[in-house]
Amino acid sequence: MNMSDATIVDFQSWQAPDLTQPKEKALDAVAIAALRQAAYDEGFAQGVKDGEAQGLAVTQDRADQFLALLQGIDQPLVAMDAHLAREVAHLAALVGAELARCEITADSEVLYRHVQRISEALPALQHPPKIFLHPQDRVMVAEHIEALPDGHPAKDWALHDEPSLGRGDCRLQGRDSQLTADLTVMAKDIVQKALRTPTE
């Protein structure tokens, strides 16, 4: 069959594929899962790193703000320390007075000795004194004095009820002088003396 030059078509001869070359393996499900996990782990690690850096920055910023608040308050704190010491001492005095009050009024002998010590603060010429006590205390002291032997100086005491006095408090009145023993006031005086700065 004759063909003209115009009808000649350029072609390449077909060759069979080389079956000796190794074929690319298709990725199975396990390999795909492994690649996916590796990518996730890498992304997670980067996220943790970025998160830690951001968290540290926020923490540092808050710490700086807190330190800024603390700056400049030293002097007010110094002034407050003295005030706080006085307040604590005042509270200690109140607590101490109440504890003493409970101890003194729990036993008639202790209460009697308490009144006796206070009476000794009066000059000898002011004896025997009039002693004003809380009504319950007066009964306890009177019962204790009644049991004392005849001739005891306390037998000459003139005991009087004074409802305005607290338990354990008393007021002694001599001929020319008067002495009030208030446990709370006494406790405060003791604390104030302890707090007072000694002068050189």
pLDDT of 61-73, one tens digit each? 665 665 555 555 5
The reply to whether 108 and 157 lie within a common domain is: yes
Per-residue pLDDT reduced to its tens digit, 4-27:
555 555 556 666 655 565 555 555
Asked if residue 53 has pLDDT above 60, the reply is yes
Higher pLDDT among residues 192 and 157, named by residue: 157
The reply to whether 81 and 167 lie within a common domain is: yes
Residue 139 binned pLDDT confidence (cut-offs 50, 70, 90) = very high
Asked if residue 54 has pLDDT above 80, the reply is no
The reply to whether 67 and 79 lie within a common domain is: no
The pTM (predicted TM-score) of the whole model is: 0.50
The reply to whether 109 and 130 lie within a common domain is: yes
CA dihedral 149, 155, 161, 167 (to 10 degrees): -50
Residue with tokens 């997670």: 44
The pLDDT value recorded for residue 199 is 41
What residues contact residue 163 under an 8 Å CB cut-off, 6+ apart?
Answer: 134, 135
Q: Total structural domains in the chain?
A: 2
